[in-house]
């Protein structure tokens, strides 16, 4: 693959593999781990544009960028241009360096509030929101969309042109319509068409779950980078795997159980430290489930692990589980 450096405003990206923003997943501990394991850019969880809600614990955690590597990209969501502009300005004051606008989330609670991918039905409102946010901040603004609302209204190309005209500096496209949610298969022809028609960087997203798939999607679409979402859950080393394959055309050796254990424990400690004992224990459960889902004995372990209420006991249980794996006590 070529070595053209992708830029978002003044910020060069380290490589062509980006962590997608995912609500409830891409918190600060996970973003930092993915950067360490090869992500060229990470994007925060979606933050509501209603700044009146920012005093909630959930919003405060999502706005925390302590110790985060540059560039710090924050995703905002909402359907009112002035509220979105205000949210962008406040995020700029809080240390954001890139503002990402969410028009890609298909979740009902987002779409029913005329935000996320619901906005794609109203092209004039899209233009108003993009113009308001770009005008509001002295930062590069990026946009995440889907290919359209439904098969009959696959207007991703129109939205992409509006985005470029509005001053958006990079565009991520998920290869599904809003009505598909996460079912079926992503299609990449629309992303290829968008890439041919706009001059800003385009990031391909959707079902990219292996180094081979990443290379195939880059070749098919001509996209500047791939964006990895669900495939990074429990497998944050996928970024290094894809980078290595794109650079050398060969696969890295799979991570050893020793290495997986140390990575998981590092992530666990970071979650406990960031959220505190009570919340950290609960949030750790889903991440641990993702890490272990392909390992023998994982289902039984997860059932007992999810009843543990103490951070040190969580850690001990994971160490014991991997010890049994390494000693061959758990059969595949």
pTM for the whole structure: 0.92
Query: Residue 250, Cβ neighbours under 10 Å: how many?
Result: 8
Q: Which two tokens stand for residue 217?
A: 């999607």
- Among 231, 248, 265, the domain-final residue is 248
State whether 227 and 292 are in the same domain: no
Concerning whether 111 is annotated as a catalytic residue, the answer is: no
**Into how many domains does the chain fold?**
2
State whether 190 and 270 are in the same domain: no
Residue 305 sits in which domain range?
257-326
The phi and psi torsions of 43 (rounded to 5 degrees) equal -125, 135
- Tell me the CATH number at 57: 3.20.20.70
Q: Give residue 325's Cα distance to chain centre.
A: 31
State whether 304 and 235 are in the same domain: no
State whether 274 and 228 are in the same domain: no
State whether 193 and 273 are in the same domain: no
- Among 185, 214, 248, the domain-final residue is 248
- Tell me the CATH number at 284: 1.10.1200
Question: Could you say which of 105, 111, 150, 310 is catalytic?
Answer: 105
Beta-ladder partners of 48: 77
Question: Can you say whether the dihedral through the CA atoms of 191, 195, 198, 200 is positive or negative?
Answer: positive
The whole-number pLDDT of residue 65 equals: 72
- From first to last of the 332 residues of the chain, give the pLDDT tens digit: 556 889 999 999 999 999 999 988 999 999 999 999 999 999 998 877 777 766 666 666 666 677 788 899 999 988 889 999 999 999 999 899 999 999 866 555 544 455 555 677 789 999 999 999 999 999 999 999 998 877 777 889 999 999 999 999 999 999 988 777 777 789 999 999 999 999 999 999 999 999 999 999 999 999 999 999 999 999 999 999 999 999 999 999 999 999 999 999 999 999 999 999 999 999 999 999 999 999 999 999 999 999 999 999 999 999 999 999 999 877 55
Residues 6 or more apart whose CB falls under 8 angstroms from that of 117 comprise 103, 104, 105, 106, 110, 111, 145, 146, 149, 178
The whole-number pLDDT of residue 228 equals: 98
State whether 57 and 199 are in the same domain: yes
State whether 134 and 195 are in the same domain: yes
Q: Which two tokens stand for residue 54?
A: 């920012």
């Amino acid at each position: 693959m070529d070595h053209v450096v992708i830029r978002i405003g003044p910020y060069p990206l380290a490589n062509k593999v980006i962590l997608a923003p995912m609500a409830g997943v891409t918190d600060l501990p996970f973003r930092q781990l993915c950067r360490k394991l090869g992500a060229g850019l990470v994007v925060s969880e979606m933050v509501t544009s209603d700044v009146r809600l920012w005093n909630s614990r959930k919003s405060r955690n999502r706005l925390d960028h302590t110790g985060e590597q540059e560039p710090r990209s924050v995703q905002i969501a909402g359907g009112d241009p002035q509220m979105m502009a205000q949210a962008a300005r406040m995020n700029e004051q809080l240390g954001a360096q890139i503002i990402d606008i969410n028009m890609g989330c298909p979740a009902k609670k987002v779409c029913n509030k005329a935000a996320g991918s619901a906005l794609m039905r109203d092209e004039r409102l899209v233009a108003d929101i993009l113009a308001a946010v770009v005008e509001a901040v002295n930062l590069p603004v990026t946009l995440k969309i889907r290919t359209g609302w439904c098969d009959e209204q696959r207007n991703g190309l129109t939205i992409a042109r509006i985005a470029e005209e509005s001053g958006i500096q990079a565009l991520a496209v998920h290869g599904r319509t809003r009505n598909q949610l996460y079912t079926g298969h992503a299609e990449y022809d629309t992303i290829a068409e968008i890439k041919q028609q706009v001059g800003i960087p385009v990031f391909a997203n959707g079902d990219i779950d292996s180094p081979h798939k990443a290379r195939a999607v880059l070749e098919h679409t001509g996209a500047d980078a791939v964006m990895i979402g669900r495939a990074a859950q429990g497998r944050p080393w996928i970024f290094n795997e894809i980078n290595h394959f794109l650079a050398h055309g060969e696969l890295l050796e799979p991570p050893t159980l020793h290495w997986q254990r140390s990575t998981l424990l590092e992530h666990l400690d970071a979650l406990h430290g960031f959220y505190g004992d009570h919340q950290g224990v609960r949030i750790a459960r889903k991440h641990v489930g993702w890490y272990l889902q392909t390992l023998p004995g994982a289902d039984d372990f997860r059932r007992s692990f999810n009843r543990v209420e103490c951070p040190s006991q969580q850690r001990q249980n994971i160490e014991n589980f991997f010890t049994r794996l390494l000693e061959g006590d758990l059969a595949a």
